[in-house]
Structure 1
Amino acid sequence: MSTPDEPGERRLTGPDSAPPSTAVAAKPGTGARTVRTIGEVLITAGLVVLLFVVYELYVTDIFSAGKQATASSQLDDDWKNGRELRSDLVDGKAFARLYIPSFGSDYHFTVQQGVGPDALEVGPGHYKETALPGEPGNFAMAGHRVGKGAPFNDLDQLASCDAVVVETVNDFFVYRVLPHDDEVADWAATKGVDPKCAKVKPLADPAQQDGGPYGQTAGRKIVTPNRGDAVAPVPYRADNPLPKAGQVALLTLTTCHPQFSDRERLIVHAVLTNQFAKQPGNGGYPQLLKQIGEGA
């Protein structure tokens, strides 16, 4: 975002300056005064906009970091005391933790129940009525892309087969991003041979003209904000054509698109590839990172 032009340099009169002219300056006319007033208003408005941008980009990040730290500490306390994941989750309360290894080993956010403003100021939020981690159906989350911690700022950089890890009190669930639309045709002969893609394949059914129930489900989608069916149990199928047992275990991440705009939504879909039970002494997430690197 550009900043308003700075006022021109003002020359100050010093001891060695020429004496001021004795001529009487003409008073500015109404038109000049109007132009000057408009210029001052525009400069003030520009400064207000600049301050708002600074607040949204940086100050809200500081506030969210504090809330995230508190939520993370409370979540650790819940897990330490054996409080398990339940279907009757509490609005705004953290119940899981999200990791995206390709964003760095220090990337981790608690996941709150709900996608209201208060929950999303803490970190990613779970869409109510969507599946829980590891379940058949669609475990869906929303997150900010700019300001308020911006957990999904780099969501557009996720490539097919990249891992997205969700930690609960007892388990780690590893999801991997589905093939993008432009990768589907040659998947088996190209990226599909990568070891980390061993459990990832296009979900569309080539035997059906429309691709079947998952014909529209790809690793990355750009949709309009009214496509709430992106987080349906079978994405983009509000009619939900499959029983629970027949649904694929998916993870969906949603955020605004493009950056600094809410004109559209960026959607990332991933499929569950592994579940690891947490056990004392098994190394936790750092050890899991090594397994993920080997294609887990």
Structure 2
Amino acid sequence: MVVRTIGEILITLGIVVLLFVGYELYVTNWMSAQLQREASAALDDRWQQERQLHAGPIDGEAFARIYIPSFGADWGFTIQEGTDAAALEVGPGHYKGSALPGEPGNFGVAGHRVGKGAPFNDLDLLNSCDAIVIETVDSFFVYRVLPMSDEIDGWGQGRARDPRCADVEPLRGEAYSSTVGRRIVLPDRGDAVAPVPYRPADVLPKASQASLLTLTTCHPQFSDRERMIIHSVLTNQFKKQPGASYEDLLREIGEA
């Protein structure tokens, strides 16, 4: 009787775990997809108004879009202001207080890797010089992933020969010695999205800071014991032209 009871309890627990995993992987993705569609429509409406108002980000609302061409031409999400649970359930969220797109400093964006739409599930597949595009009300900003730590030595003779790497090189100076394309850090490294990553706020004046985009997500998959950090540098800004689209931009930057 004892063995049978224990067995029944274990089976029940197993079913509960399977149901929870199914909820996290499928139900939350479906819910987030609906929220993402609503946020995207609201962003289009807001941009129509902002062309006259030029308003800044509003807490909890979408203010930009992010695209990663190497993940497919249809990969794209709105970016919400803030990184609380409600914002990240919709899509990637902007670390409040970090730079805005195109500004000197560090534009920090967090996103889920599993469930809730899993926008950053494949960040580990990004390579140096891969493009990350941020769309705002009036511009497309093209960032490219920085060289990985094992690529810095000999960069000029290796990966740098790729045409997509024409405007990418290791960041120079002691202040940026820890800023490379990909890092795995502990969850308490909030300074990954500091104006100069991993450095005190006053290490460089704003005018001397590189214009960076930093993406953060949990690592490894199905765990939050570490964080994966992807650092990229601004290489181009394209003002939106009437009738121009993201697909046109991909052809412009050689990613189509």
State the distance in 1 between where 2:128 and 2:71 align: 14
Which residue does 1:137 correspond to in 2? Answer: 105
5+ residue gaps, structure 2, are none
Q: Residue 79 of structure 1 is aligned with which of 24, 42, 47? A: 47
Query: How much has 1:81 moved relative to structure 2?
Result: 2.6
Distance 1:181 1:241 in 2: 22
Question: Match of 2:10?
Answer: 42
| Residue 86 of structure 1: how far off its partner (Å) | 4.0
Superposition deviation, residue 238 in structure 1? 2.8
Tell me, in whole angstroms, the C-alpha distance in 2 between the residues paired with 1:90 and 1:202. 34
Task: Give distance in 2, aligned partners of 1:271 and 1:284.
Answer: 22
1:258 aligns with 2:220: yes
| Residue identity matched to 1:59 | V
The CA distance in 2 between the partners of 1:289 and 1:34, in whole Å, is 65
RMSD: 1.3
- How has the CA–CA distance of structure 1 residues 243 and 59 changed in structure 2, closer, same or farther, with 3 Å as cutoff? same
Moved more, 89-98 or 212-221: 89-98
- Alignment size in residue pairs: 255
Residue correspondence of structure 1 range 156-175 to structure 2 within 5 A: 156-175=124-143
Q: Secondary structure at the match of 1:276?
A: strand
Aligned to 1:291, which of 249, 252, 256? 252
Structure 2 letter corresponding to 1:288: L
What corresponds to 1:224 in structure 2? 186
Aligned to 1:64: 32
How far did 1:80 drift?
A: 2.0
CA–CA distance in structure 1, aligned partners of residues 54 and 147 of structure 2: 30
Is 1:200 aligned to residue 168 of structure 2? yes
Q: What is the deviation of 1:53?
A: 0.2
> In the TM superposition, what whole-angstrom CA distance separates every residue of 1:265-287 from its partner, at most 9, and x where no partner exists?
00000000000000113x22110
Of all paired residues, the percent bearing the same amino acid is 65
Distance in 1, Cα, partners of 2:217 & 2:245: 29
**Structure 1's 74 and 138: CA in aligned 2 closer, same or farther, altered over 3 A?**
same
Aligned to 2:234: 272
> Quick check: 1:178–1:219 contact (8 Å CA) kept in 2?
yes
Question: What is the Cα deviation at residue 239 of structure 1?
Answer: 4.0
CA distance in 2, matches of 1:200, 1:145: 27
Normalization by structure 2: what TM-score? 0.97
Aligned partner of 1:293: which letter?
G
Residue 109 of structure 1 pairs with residue 70 of structure 2: no
Compute the TM-score of the two structures, normalised by the length of structure 1: 0.84
Higher helix share: 2
Match among 85, 88, 94 for residue 126 of structure 1? 94
| Deviation sequence 1:136-167 (CA, Å, 0-9, x none) | 00000000000000000000000000000000
Name stretches of at least 5 consecutive residues in structure 1 with no aligned partner: 1-32, 206-211
* CA spacing shift, 1:237–1:193, aligned 2, 3 Å: same
- What's the CA shift string for 1:232-267, capped at 9, x where partnerless? 000000343001100000000000000000010000
